[in-house]
Structures are given as structure tokens and as C-alpha cells.
């Protein structure tokens, strides 16, 4: 079984809405689903360097605050174990998406939680539900 570490970030704009990006149909993992910026860590770079790189690659933007850890989750499948560290952070500007994504949209936390399970990451949904009263 392969072990991987992933980093993701739930980015908030000055209007208090959060950025979701829709994965392209050709993407192997979760085609067509809403997601937040992030990806697997590259060895030799810090967690924050990896997170900043993923945000830049996927949105063309730079975070405007130091990200804070929202939660750490184990995602275990038959062939791999991913430890995902999800952060919250702030951002300004208009995203410029990579080829991995087809659209972006800003959502309130309540709107995110209203998305159908098939269109949204169940692990992130759980983090938001668990932290809704204390963080959002």
C-alpha cells in the first residue's frame, strides 16, 4: 500500500465566500466534482511551500494570509493511504484555472453544505460540518 500526504485549502474572499473549483471531465480522481485547491506533497518542500504551489498552479492566485489547519484526515483505499491536511486561508482576485479544472464559483458555507454528495468531497464536507459553529 502506498502512503501519500495531501494538502488542501478552503480559501475565503473579502466578501466572506469560499472558492470551489470544478474538476475537468478528463481528471482521473473525481471528474466533474467540485473541489478546493490542493494536491499531493512533493518531498523536499515544506507543507506551506506545497500548499502555496498548489494554489498558484490551480488558481493563479497567492494566499493573502497564513493558512491555518482546519483538520487532518486519513483516507484509506485498497491501494493507498492518503493523509490529508486541510487548511483555511484568505485570497483576493479572480482565479485563472489550470487545465485540471473547468470552472470556479464562490460559495457561502451553507451553500457548500447544500451541494449533493456526488458533487462534493465527503471528507471536506465532514470537516466543514464538524467546524461550522467554531470557525465559519
CATH value at residue 101: 3.90.79.10
Q: How many CA atoms lie within 13 A of 117 on its CB side?
A: 3
Q: Are 127 and 109 in contact (CB under 8 A)?
A: no
Mean pLDDT of 106-121: 89
pTM of structure = 0.93
Is the residue at 75 inside a domain?
yes
Is the residue at 34 inside a domain?
yes
pLDDT confidence of residue 114: 93
Among 62, 18, 67, smallest CA distance to 46 is for 67
Average pLDDT over the chain, rounded to whole? Answer: 94
Is the residue at 54 inside a domain?
yes
Mean pLDDT of 120-125: 90
pLDDT in tens, 63-107: 999 999 999 999 999 999 999 999 999 999 999 999 999 999 999
Mean pLDDT of 45-54: 96
% the chain with pLDDT above 70: 99
Is the residue at 101 inside a domain?
yes
Look at the chain and report how many structural domains it folds into. Answer: 1
Please say if the pLDDT value at position 48 is more than 90.
yes
Is the residue at 7 inside a domain?
yes
For residue 57, report the phi and psi dihedrals to the nearest 5 degrees.
-60, -40
121: helix, coil or strand? coil
Q: Which domain holds residue 99?
A: 2-131
Among 39, 28, 11, smallest CA distance to 106 is for 11
- For residue 122, what are the contacts with CB-CB under 8 A and spacing of at least 6? none
pLDDT confidence of residue 124: 93
Residue with cell 462534493: 120
Please say if the pLDDT value at position 5 is more than 80.
yes
pLDDT confidence of residue 116: 86
Amino acid at each position: 500500500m502506498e502512503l501519500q500526504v495531501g494538502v488542501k485549502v478552503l480559501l475565503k474572499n473579502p466578501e466572506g465566500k469560499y472558492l470551489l473549483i470544478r474538476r475537468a471531465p478528463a481528471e482521473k480522481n473525481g471528474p466533474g466534482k467540485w473541489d478546493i485547491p490542493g494536491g499531493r506533497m512533493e518531498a523536499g518542500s515544506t507543507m506551506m511551500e506545497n500548499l502555496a504551489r498548489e494554489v498558484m498552479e490551480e488558481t493563479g492566485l497567492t494566499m493573502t494570509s497564513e493558512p491555518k489547519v482546519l483538520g487532518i484526515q486519513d483516507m484509506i483505499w485498497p491501494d493507498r493511504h492518503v493523509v490529508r491536511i486541510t487548511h483555511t486561508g484568505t485570497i483576493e482576485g479572480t482565479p485563472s484555472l489550470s487545465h485540471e479544472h473547468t470552472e470556479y464559483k464562490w460559495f457561502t458555507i451553507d451553500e457548500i453544505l447544500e451541494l449533493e454528495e456526488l458533487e462534493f468531497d465527503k471528507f471536506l464536507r465532514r470537516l466543514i460540518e464538524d467546524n461550522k459553529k467554531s470557525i465559519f
